Chain A
Amino acid sequence: MPVQVQTAIFDPGQLLNALHRDQLGVGAVVGFVGYVRDFNDGQEVAGMLLEHYPGMTEKALQKIVREAEERWPLSCVDVVHRVGKLEPGEPIVFVGVSSAHRSASFEASHFIIDYLKTRAPFWKKEDTAEGPRWVDAREGDQTALDKWAPRS
């Protein structure tokens, strides 16, 4: 199961180690972990609520993983994204990739998180001192995709 959407907290170290276990052809594992910060856009953040589109979320993540697998020779991919209520310091997302050589894992994990940020139907609502607020999408997330445009 390379894609998991869950409310439960996860242990990034455990997920990272699982990408290598019993895989003697794997020479490289790269993991990205996104965390809830206690400060964003000039305001302290006491926590957040993550909404998603059940059904589409899983399909969107699977499509992104398939695209990565078509572009790079990968051994394993694991994507875990949390939904529901999250506290500052908690992990939100894990993207882990294993491959025989490092460049495929580095590039594929970067590609997956960049696409996830702009294509997967998740929305963050932060709790601030002034009340709850929906997080606005960053322009930089969209331009980050440019580096993955097909090379001519």
Chain B
Amino acid sequence: MITVQFFARYRELLNQDQAHMHWDEHLDTVGALRNRLVDRGEPWILLSEPRLMCARNQELCNLDEPLRDGDEIAFFPPVTGG
């Protein structure tokens, strides 16, 4: 099982802060997970934004980061703290 979290604008537009997905061997990277979500159509297409940021197990990562069963993945727009 993969836990996927969404924050800020993504959380609002997707109308959820968290989703659970069954892991399979095709979900081998964070980018593959993102593509699987985008394939659901609206409103998930917003995750195809080029500026999307992601984290694996609470560390920033790139879309080519390997994905393992049990991971906590987060997708969010560019950060604006400070």
Contacts and interface: CB of A to CB of B under 8 A. Distances in A.
B77 A123 contact: yes
Contacts of B58: 53, 55-56, 59
Interface string A115-131: 01111111111000000
Interface string B43-82: 0000000010001001110000000000000101111111
Contact of B74 (A34, A53, A122, A134): A53
Interface in B1-32: 5, 7-9
A137 B79 contact: yes
A81 B80 CA distance: 12
Q: What is the interface residue range for chain A against chain B?
A: 20 to 34
A50 interface: yes
Given A56-B74, A134-B8, A122 B81 contact: yes
A123 B7 contact: yes
Given A51-B8, A53-B5, A53-B74, A118 B55 contact: no
Interface residues of B, number: 17
Contacts of A59: 58-59
Contacts of B59: 56, 59-60
Contacts of B51: 137
A124 B74 contact: no
A145 interface: no
Interface string B33-50: 000000000000000000
Contact of A56 (B8, B55, B80): B55
Contact of A120 (B5, B74, B77, B81): B81
A56 B55 CA distance: 9
A92 interface: yes
Contact of B7 (A81, A92, A93, A121): A121
B55 A125 contact: no
A136 B81 contact: no
A116 B81 contact: yes
A123 B51 CA distance: 14
